[in-house]
Amino acid sequence: MGRKVTLAVSTLNQWALDFEGNLARILQSIQAAKDAGATYRSGPELEICGYNCEDHFLESDTLLHSWELLLELLISPICKDIIVDVGMPVMHKNATYNCRVIFLNRKLLLIRPKLLMCDTASYRETRWFSAWRKLQETEDYYLPRMIQTYTGQSVVAFGDGVISTKDTCIGFEICEELWNPVSSHIPLSLDGVEIVANGSGSYMELRKAYTTVELVKSATYKAGGCYLFNNLRGCDGQRMYFNGCSCIALNGEVIARSLQFSLQEVEVVVATIDLEDIRSYRNQVRSRCTLSGSHKAYPRINVDFSLSETGPWGSVAPSYNPITWIYHPPEEEIAMGPACWLWDYLRRSGQGGYFLPLSGGVDSSAVACIVHSMCRMVVSACAAGDTQVLADVRKMVCDAEYVPRQPQELCGRLLFTCYMGTQNSSVETRQRAKTLAAQIGSYHTDISIDGAVSACLSIFSLVTGMKPQFAVHGGSARESLAMQNIQARLRMVLSYL
């Protein structure tokens, strides 16, 4: 029996409720995994419908369309002879769960619901989903009729179970379960599960990549085994940016990884592992073996399929080599993370660029530099042959033949900056704005808004009989604040024109 298996993790830039686009990206990732010789493909959290559907998760249409997309995957020839693991919402007994759905050759194998919800910071999962609390138990889930028609199945196992193939055993975690003190990968490993797949929707925070990678490494260092961490990438319609970092770890070492910041919509990373490395690693930890002998067993779904028997990959492919993860410093994370978010927002909103009131101060200057960082990444992606990025650029600039060559050139077509000065503006801020615009290449203008300020003050004086003044001219602190706000708010209003 072959011992070597090739596994794939997927990083996808999905879009909330873009079922057609999400399907295309999932199929592309499955094809890429098969082309690399993988017999198991895992993916990120809620990849079928998109993570940030918010209150649309409460609508039955979202659940229906998710099943329709799953049906498209089931009947697609691309999904033949590979175990596929996708994320989608599923309603069971009138409660909606955040689930992994695993299938092989038009047959559903298991629906595995999320055990622990995340409500930290920007997460609000308990608003839409229930946590599955029947640990290490499964029950029958009655499939929709359209699924029954194509699979010939009326029920499938639903719950905290594992997949047992002819050569190994696969278990599951979903995002928060990795971060929780009582993580599922520990009892899974004690029950002989050798591969743990995690579909996540983890968004960017400074230095969070380091924490995530250390959690993945420690999961396999302490318990042994292979851990497949899949994460979303990009802005899927909300304020959050999912920062990729999908990876494969084996026995405490990362052996393959995807990029943290990238404009690439679909990135698949594969690794070939030797199952005997897991078995020998675990067998050396005698205290673990003692616990394993008395541990409660998970429900197993037996599958007549071997991960190591498709083609020559399972027997002759080279095994893994540990890699060193090079982390971005915080300055690079600040420059690249928001830049990727701005790119996704721009291309999916259908607009032709950004307008920025450039005051010469630190706030607007920082935003201008981030847009320039976006242009640098776009130019690099086009130079690397990313056809999707090039198509998006051409759509924005309304030029079917355009190819960006330099970041400054592209910035001149996508970023429009304007210095909105008044008689109170300084020469220094005006010059700083002009200099920065020239450096990054933005299309820059310089206008005076004194007429608009005077008009507002005239209306105020007509209504109240008062004329506010800056403190330096004898006005009160309240008047001075009002005078500053008039200029700031007028700049905002004019920017929308």
Active site residues: 45, 114, 175, 359
Sign of the alpha-carbon torsion through 136, 89, 350, 497: negative
Strands, sheet with 95-104, edge to edge from the N-terminal-most edge strand: 138-142, 155-159, 107-113, 95-104, 83-92, 40-42, 4-12, 266-274
* Residue 98 phi, psi dihedral angles, 5° rounding: -85, 110
Measured from the Cβ of residue 364, the count of other Cβ atoms closer than 10 Å reads: 18
Structure tokens at 450: 């004194």
| Closest listed residue to residue 146, CA positions, set 82, 77, 65 | 65
SS3 326: coil
Q: How far is residue 354's CA from residue 371's CA, in Å, rounded to a whole number?
A: 9
Furthest C-alpha separation in the chain: 93
Q: How far apart are CA 5 and CA 19, in angstroms?
A: 31
CA distance 283 to 471: 77
Inter-CA distances, 243 with 119, 177, 205, 261, 326, Å = 19, 19, 9, 6, 15
Residue 102 one-letter amino acid: I
The amino acid at residue 7 is L
The tokens for 388 are 């999707």
CA pair distance 347, 366, nearest whole angstrom = 21
Are 70 and 21 in contact by the 8 Å Cβ rule? The answer is no
SS (H, E, C) 197-209: EEEECCECCCCHH
| Residue 470 buriedness (CB in 10 A; 0-12 / 13-18 / 19+) | middle
Residue 30: alpha-carbon gap to chain centroid? 17
Spatial distance between the Cα atoms of 343 and 35, rounded to a whole number of angstroms: 29
Helix axes 330-349, 387-397, angle to 10 degrees: 60
Concatenate the DSSP letters of all residues of 365-403 into one string: HHHHHHHHHHHHHHHHHHHTT-HHHHHHHHHHHT-TT--
Q: To 10 degrees, what angle do helices 362-383 and 427-440 make?
A: 10
Q: Which residues pair with 199 in a beta bridge?
A: 174, 230
- 6 in Cβ contact with 38 (< 8 Å): yes
